[in-house]
A and B are shown apart, each in its own frame.
Chain A
Amino acid sequence: MDVYRTSESNFLTLLENIASNRELFVPADDHGEIAYKNWDDLGQSSVQFPKNRIGTPPKVFFFPPKEEVSTFPSDKGGPERNKRAVFGLKACDLSAFKVLDRVFLDEEFVDPFYAIRRHDTLLISSDCYQVSDTCFCNKVGGQPYPEERGFDLNVTKTPDFEDLIVEFNPDSLEAQEIYEKNSDLFEPANEKTLEKRTAFRTSREEKLDEQNSFFEVSEDVSDIPPDDPMWRDFAEKCVECGACNLSCPTCHCFQLYEKEEGSSVSRNKVWDSCNFKGYSRVAGGANPMESLESRVRNRFYDKFGRIYENHGFYGCTGCGRCIDGCMGDIDMRDVLKEVTVENKN
C-alpha cells in the first residue's frame, strides 16, 4: 500500500524539500483569491489547500497562453528542460490530460514543448474538500478525488481528521523516490484512516449527485444543427468574451503568428477561442462560423460530440469554470438539459 498519513506541517516540509530541487508552484492567496504562485515567491502568503479547483486551469503550465515555438531561418530548437512540480490540482484537472495528451502527444505529431513539460512536471493533486455549486464532474465520468492515478502524489484533507492522507503513485518513479527521501515524515495509513477517506469521498460524491440531478449529459448534441433555435437562445446571452475557452482546462485551440526581430523571425503559439468571430475565417473572407449561434454550438459540439465521436470520452471535465466565468450566465448544464429536451421532441 502506498497510502500514508502525515501532519500538515510535515507536508509543508515535504513541499519545501520538493522545492529544493524543482520549481514548485502552489496555490496561495492572491488578493482574496487563490492562484498558483512560485514557492520561492510566496513572501507573506501561505500555501492554501484549495477546497475545489482553483480558477486558473492547469494547462497554463504545459500549454502557456503565449510562447515562441520556432525561429526562422534557423530554428533555435525545442524548449529547455526544467524540473517542476505543481501542487493543488484536482481530479478534474488530472482528467483534462486525457484530452490534452490526445491533442499534443499524437502518434504522428508531437508538440515537443508540451511533451517535455508533461514529462518534467510532478503532479501533486488533492481531493475536493468542498465541491463548488458549479462542479459537475460526476456527470462526465469523474469524481471529486482522483481515481485513475494520473497524479504522482495525492493529498486528502478531511474535516474530522487532523492529519493529511497522502498517496504515492506506485507507477511513478519520482513519487517513490520522494517517499524514500522523506519517509520519516510519514507513517502508514491504517484501515481506519482509509475508511475515513472513503467515507469523506462518498459524502462529496453524494453532494455532487444531489446538485446535478436536474440534467443528463449526452453526445446527442451532435444531432442538434446550428440553425436550431436553442443555439440562438443561448447566443443571445453570449457576449463573445471567450472566458469559457480561456478558463477551460481542455480547450486547446491556438493560433500561430509571426514576429520579425532583426534578421530573425519568431513563430508564436497563442491561445485562441472558437468564440471569436475570426476563428474560422479563411483567406478571401469566407467564414463558416460567422454566426454567433454556430460558434456557441461549436463549443458544446466539440466537448460532447466531436471528442466523444473520435475518442470515446467527453472533452469536458465538469469543472464548471466556464459557468463561473460566463458574463452572460450561460450554464453548460442548462445547455445539456436543453439538448436532452430537444432530442425528446
Chain B
Amino acid sequence: MQTRAELERKNLDSMENPYSSVPAEITSIVDESPTIKTFELEPDEPMEFATGEFIQLSVPGLGEAPFTPSSSPNVTDTLEVTIMEAGEVTGELHDMSEGDTVGIRGPYGKGYPLEEMEGRDVLVVGGGVGLAPLRSLLYMLTAQPDDFGKICLKYGARAPDHLIYKDQLDDWGSGASEIDLELTVDEGDEDWEGNVGVVTNLLEDLEVDTEKGVAVVCGPPIMMKFTTQSLLDYFESSDIYLSMEKNMSCGFGMCGHCQLGKYYVCKDGPVFTHDQVKDIPDLWE
C-alpha cells in the first residue's frame, strides 16, 4: 500500500499518460505476401525501442493491436511493422494507404536479451509472419557480427508466395551475408526448387554449437510447440527464447488480459525462455 507521500513523489501534476498514443504517418507500404504487408511509420515524436519490445498500434476510432517492430532499433526516426491480416484492426490497416495516420504507444515488454547472446552461436527459427520480430533481431546481430558467434536462420512458410522479406532472404541466402539461411515451405509450386516440409525438418543437422549456443523461436503456436520440442534435444531449456502472444490490451500489466501462468506477457515478456514457461498448463493454447 502506498502512502500519500510516496504518491507525491510521482509528480502528480506532470505524470505521463501511458494510455496516450502519438500520431504516426504511414510513409510506405510493402506487400510481402497475399496476407502480409510491411508498414513504415514516421511518428510525430521518435520512439526508441529495443529489439523484441512491442508497440500498440491503433487505427484511430477502431482500436489497437500489438506488434513487435520488424525494423532495426538503430533507425530512430521511422519504424516498420509487418502485419498479417487476421482481425478487425489488421484488416483495416491493410486497407490504409501511404499518408494515412495511425497512433502508436510504447515500447513495452522485455525484448531479446542481446547481452545473453554475446559470443555465442545463435539459431533463429521463424514461421510465417513470425519472422517479423526476428528480422529486427537479425539486424542487431549482423550490425556487430564480431560480438556474436555463428548466426543461422531456419525459416518456413505455407508456400513460396507466403515467404516474407523476399529481397532480404535473397541477400541472406547469397553466401555474402553473415547469416546462414535455410528455407522451407509446407507446399511448393512449379518454380520452387527448395525444401518442402515443416520447419522442424531443418533442425536435424544443426551447424551451430548447440551446447554453448542459444535458439530463438517465433511463429504460430503449433510451429513453436513442435520446434521447441525438437530444440530441447540440443539446447538447454534456459537457452531457448520464445515469443509468446496473448491478448495484450494495455501493454503494461494493468488490464489483466495477457496472463500466462504467473506472468503477464506484456510486462514479463513477450520474450520468455522455455525454462520460464515450461510448466504452464496449456502453454500453446
The residues of A with any CB-CB pair to B shorter than 8 Å are 69-70, 72-73, 75, 77-78, 81, 94, 97-98, 101, 103-106, 108-112, 115-116, 118-119, 148, 150, 171-174, 222, 225-227, 252-260, 265, 267, 269, 272, 274, 279-286, 288, 294, 298, 302, 305-306, 309-310
Contacts and interface: CB of A to CB of B under 8 A. Distances in A.
Contacts of B257: 253, 255, 272, 279-280
Q: At the interface, is chain A mostly helix, strand, loop or mixed?
A: mixed
Given A265-B61, A272-B255, A70 B19 contact: yes
B64 A256 contact: yes
B249 A256 contact: yes
B169 interface: no
Interface of B: 1-4, 7-8, 10, 12-13, 15-21, 23, 58, 60-65, 86-90, 101, 103, 221, 245-247, 249-250, 252-257, 259, 261-262, 281-282, 285
B246 A282 contact: yes
A79 to B, nearest CB: 9
Nearest to A116: B12
B17 A115 contact: no
A108 B20 CA distance: 16
Contact of B17 (A69, A252, A283, A288): A69
Given A105-B2, A115-B7, A226-B281, A298 B254 contact: no
A283 B2 contact: no
A109 B245 CA distance: 21
Nearest to A269: B19
7 contacts: A73-B103, A111-B18, A259-B61, A272-B257, A279-B257, A284-B87, A288-B285
B1 A97 contact: yes
A305 B60 CA distance: 37
B86 to A, nearest CB: 4
B23 to A, nearest CB: 5
A309 B2 CA distance: 20
B259 A75 contact: no
A72 B250 contact: no
Contact of B15 (A70, A110, A257, A285): A110
A115 B15 contact: yes
Contacts of A69: 17, 19-20
Nearest to B89: A283
A54 B160 CA distance: 63
A81 to B, nearest CB: 8
Given A118-B2, A280-B246, A75 B61 contact: no
A172 to B, nearest CB: 7
Contact of B221 (A172, A272, A286, A294): A286
Nearest to A256: B249
